[in-house]
Structure 1
């Protein structure tokens, strides 16, 4: 009996070691593959999370910047006052009601200002950017055949921002001036109730 057991033991003990190594190698390969797949999945999850965080952070920052910009635009400039626009040392009020030049002049005076005096190309372009396709009275009138600003300054013949062909006194007695649709100056009657425009008032920024 002992001889039989010994014989079986010898047979079992002779299982090739190469078979064990193959099983171990396969198991190791599967384990490594599993770890690799797991790491890849983790990396994908982390990448997706970071992308979502970046997207929300970017959108959030963009929203905040837009909100600040809107608030800044809506908050009136304290140095000029409510509804006034500040530009290059002056404050401007764009009157939306239509009136004659004389009425516009008085309206500006009531606000401790006067009809705008245009001193430069930059100022003229700024005004046009605000007026758009509409007509606005400015502070230039013809006194004794001389174009004069409301502060008494005489407009030089070679200066100004006249529209092509202006001033032409087309309808007679055109002694006041407004900005045209192109932002250029055009002469018109001062008190013609059938010819009313909006107006631009200006005052110095004293802040």
Structure 2
């Protein structure tokens, strides 16, 4: 190869190198195809130029970046923990402030029940026989009403006068003339005064007791009447 040919190749190499730098990827591939030995030579020279110092510097830079990233991560975690703790404290504070209002909202009895002297009473909206009334109260976790005091008797008697004749949990089904409450207790002699005049008379096989007018009456258990359930009231926190 003479000097003119070698100079021509070098000139083509320079043109292809400029074309590689200034052109986009698609056209630079053409220059790369003609002058790959030249470009590889240049790249090798550049890599040798980095030397150990540049490699160490790059490693130090990378380590510093990782350390900074770690510090940022730790800082974010600590900040998140502080935010979470602040949220918990805020919730606890709000619950403390709401506690008196929640206590005032506490209802010893459900909405359809009436509270009286520590007990809840349910007055039915429809009528059924005595046995079905006993079952209905059990399904409500209660019992057909058992009267324990004069005050309770007065309260129930007055309410039944307003709502209609209603079954109570009293019958002599087990033994005629011996009256028992559904909880198994005997009817006290002091409560006999609550029978209406001439009652109980068992005129028509009347084995179940009802509220009627100003007192009690015995009636056939198969007759449909309203009914009253009773259960203990729930306790609410002290205000």
TM-score > 0.5, shorter chain as reference: yes
Shift, 1:158, TM fit: 4.6
Give the structure 1 partner of residue 129 of structure 2: 100
CA distance in 2, matches of 1:158, 1:123: 14
Contact 1:77-1:85 at 8 Å conserved across structures: no
Contact 2:161-2:212 at 8 Å conserved across structures: no
Contact 2:160-2:212 at 8 Å conserved across structures: no
1:204 to 232, 235, 238: 232
Shift, 1:181, TM fit: 2.1
Shift, 1:119, TM fit: 1.6
Q: For 2:153, what is the secondary structure of its paired residue?
A: helix
Contact 1:114-1:201 at 8 Å conserved across structures: yes
Is 1:136 aligned to 2:166, yes or no?
yes
Is 1:117 aligned to 2:146, yes or no?
yes
CA distance in 2, matches of 1:159, 1:181: 16
Shift, 1:77, TM fit: 6.9
Cα gap change, 1:187/1:77 in structure 2, threshold over 3 Å: closer, same or farther? farther
From the two aligned structures, give the one with the greater helix fraction.
Answer: 2
CA distance in 2, matches of 1:107, 1:131: 18
Give the structure 2 partner of residue 180 of structure 1: 212
CA distance in 1, matches of 2:209, 2:106: 28
- Uncovered stretches (5+) of structure 2, i.e. residues with no partner: 1-104
Shift, 1:86, TM fit: 0.4
CA distance in 2, matches of 1:169, 1:196: 17
CA distance in 2, matches of 1:120, 1:81: 23
Is 1:171 aligned to 2:204, yes or no?
yes
Is 1:153 aligned to 2:185, yes or no?
yes
Shift, 1:203, TM fit: 0.3
Q: Which has the higher contact order (CA 8 A, sep 6+)?
A: 1
Cα gap change, 1:121/1:77 in structure 2, threshold over 3 Å: closer, same or farther? farther
From the two aligned structures, give the one with the greater strand fraction.
Answer: 1
Cα gap change, 1:77/1:152 in structure 2, threshold over 3 Å: closer, same or farther? farther
Cα gap change, 1:186/1:114 in structure 2, threshold over 3 Å: closer, same or farther? same
CA distance in 2, matches of 1:82, 1:171: 38
Cα gap change, 1:158/1:125 in structure 2, threshold over 3 Å: closer, same or farther? closer
What is the aligned length? 127
1:36-94 deviation digits (Å, cap 9, x = unpaired): xxxxxxxxxxxxxxxxxxxxxxxxxxxxxxxxxxxxxxxx9721112100001110000
Give the structure 2 partner of residue 78 of structure 1: 107
Greater C-alpha Rg: 2
Equivalent residue runs for 1:61-72 within 5 Å: none
